[in-house]
């Protein structure tokens, strides 16, 4: 603990002093200011300066602490509850420019830093409203980046541009795991829209394929571990010269790999979370509990209409429609089988009239 630094931080936090507009114009300035800048009054000029520095040095070959840069930028506006939408359009553009630079240069990040920086980058544009050009770029990114897709599906305001893009992508694999959110955007533009059974069937089959692939990957991983642990030396005797001498350190690495795999936990398939019950069975292939795909198919055929209703109920919840229209649509999809879904939505959205209507329905 640095006692002097802690005292200065405490003083600055209480004083909420202003900071000069030119406090951060270079990466060297940032290094001097990063421990204290977040305790000063928010200054949009300084914030813009930090964005400029981050954009300019992000792909630099020099020594740059990118995680520190991004963390400080985020804390500078979040700790003072600054609404980024209240800032100038020039600053909003630079926020998006930094976001693009990060997403387009993931290869320069270490495996440890990548998930942290991806998360911070996504948080940087959370709730930000963009102009048409930036929004279209974000839509384009969403086709190849899951976190960009999150930002589109959770875009903070009604947008004909987003609804149009969602409609174009509606029957692609991109939205198969996000069906209710996608439905919400279509309802914004077409309140009488209803998802088709064919689309839900395609979604269902897509998820089955993902789960089957997860089983196959786990089986293959475990098979490789067994091979490396038990049979490696028989397949590749260390004293055999195959084509050219193999250095001793290679065999040393094989020994380490063999030990690591010997004590490695068995790989288990990770399945897609579904909003309906999934019957399971013990698989001889993977020696694990896996979805019973035959029973799942039978379940879908028996319950596809209820699954459609539940999808529409949550699509209404995700939509940006007014409360009156939401209540009308939720009543349309209410049934004994969908009671709990409608109840959760009505409670979450504080739809008092709908809750009273449900009580009357129950007698």
**What does the pLDDT profile of the chain (363 residues) look like in tens digits?**
578 888 888 888 887 888 999 999 999 999 999 988 998 999 999 999 999 999 999 999 889 999 999 999 999 999 889 999 999 999 999 999 999 999 999 999 999 999 999 999 999 999 999 999 999 999 999 999 999 999 999 999 999 999 999 999 999 999 999 999 999 999 999 999 999 999 999 999 999 999 999 999 888 877 766 665 565 555 555 554 545 555 555 555 655 555 555 545 677 889 999 999 999 999 887 778 999 999 999 999 999 999 999 999 999 999 999 999 999 999 999 999 999 999 999 999 999 999 999 999 998
Please, which residues bridge with residue 280 across strands?
Answer: 291
Q: What is the pLDDT of residues 108-138, one digit of tens each?
A: 999 999 999 999 999 999 999 999 999 999 9
Q: Give the SS3 label for residue 280.
A: strand
Return the HEC string of 199-237: HHHHHHHHHHHHHHHHHHHHHHHHHHHHHHHHHHHHHCC
In degrees, to the nearest 5, what angle opens at C-alpha 207 toward C-alphas 201 and 210?
A: 145
Q: Do 290 and 269 touch, CB atoms closer than 8 A?
A: yes
Among 284, 93, 310, residue whose Cα is nearest residue 183: 310
> What b-and-e string marks burial along 318-344, b requiring 16 or more CB atoms within 10 Å of the CB?
bbbbeeeebbebbeebbeeebeebbee
Contacts 24+ apart (CB under 8 A), 276-285: 276/303, 276/307, 276/310, 283/215, 285/215, 285/219
Distance, in Å, from the CA atom of 34 to the CA atom of 40, rounded to the nearest integer, reads: 11
Distance, in Å, from the CA atom of 164 to the CA atom of 186, rounded to the nearest integer, reads: 8
Among 22, 78, 30, 26, residue whose Cα is nearest residue 46: 22
Query: What tokens does 3 get?
Result: 């006692």
Give the H or E element holding residue 261: helix 248-262
pLDDT for the residue numbered 256: 58
Query: What tokens does 356 get?
Result: 């009273």
Q: Give the SS3 label for residue 288.
A: strand
Give the H or E element holding residue 289: strand 288-291
Q: What is the pLDDT of residues 237-282, one digit of tens each?
A: 555 454 555 555 555 565 555 555 554 567 788 999 999 999 999 9
Alpha helices in 105-235 (DSSP H): 113-124, 132-142, 146-153, 160-169, 179-189, 197-226, 232-235
pTM score, two decimals?
0.84
Looking only at the bridges linking them, the beta strands covering 280-283 and 288-291 are: antiparallel
């Amino acid at each position: 603990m640095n006692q002097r630094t802690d005292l200065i931080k405490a003083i600055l936090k209480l004083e909420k002093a202003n900071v000069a507009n030119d406090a951060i114009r270079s990466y060297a300035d940032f290094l001097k200011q990063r421990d204290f800048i977040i305790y000063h009054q928010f200054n949009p000029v300084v914030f813009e300066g930090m964005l400029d520095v981050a954009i300019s040095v992000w792909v630099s070959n020099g020594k740059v602490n990118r995680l520190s840069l991004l963390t400080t930028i985020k804390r500078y506006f979040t700790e003072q509850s600054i609404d980024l939408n209240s800032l100038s359009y020039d600053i909003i553009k630079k926020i998006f420019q930094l976001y693009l630079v990060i997403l387009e240069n993931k290869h320069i990040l270490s495996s440890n830093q990548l998930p942290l920086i991806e998360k911070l980058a996504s948080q940087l544009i959370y709730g930000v409203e963009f102009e048409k050009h930036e929004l279209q770029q974000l839509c384009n990114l969403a086709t190849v980046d899951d976190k960009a897709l999150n930002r589109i599906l959770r875009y903070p305001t009604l947008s004909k541009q987003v609804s149009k893009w969602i409609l174009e992508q509606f029957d692609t694999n991109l939205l198969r795991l996000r069906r209710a959110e996608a439905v919400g955007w279509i309802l914004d533009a077409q309140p009488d829209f209803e998802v088709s059974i064919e689309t839900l069937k395609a979604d269902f089959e897509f998820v089955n394929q993902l789960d089957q692939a997860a089983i196959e990957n786990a089986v293959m991983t475990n098979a490789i571990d067994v091979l490396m642990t038990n049979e490696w030396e028989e397949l590749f005797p260390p004293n055999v010269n195959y084509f050219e001498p193999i250095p001793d350190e290679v065999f040393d690495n094989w020994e380490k790999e063999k030990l690591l795999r010997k004590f490695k936990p068995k790989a288990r398939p990770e399945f897609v979370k579904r909003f309906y019950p999934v019957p399971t069975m013990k698989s001889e292939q993977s020696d694990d509990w896996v979805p019973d795909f035959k029973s799942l198919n039978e379940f879908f055929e028996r319950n596809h209409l209820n699954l459609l209703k539940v999808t529409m109920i949550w699509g209404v919840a995700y939509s940006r429609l007014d409360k009156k229209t939401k209540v009308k649509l939720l009543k349309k999809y209410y049934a004994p089988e969908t009671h709990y879904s409608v109840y959760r939505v009505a409670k979450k959205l504080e739809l008092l009239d709908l809750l009273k209507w449900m009580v009357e329905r129950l007698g």
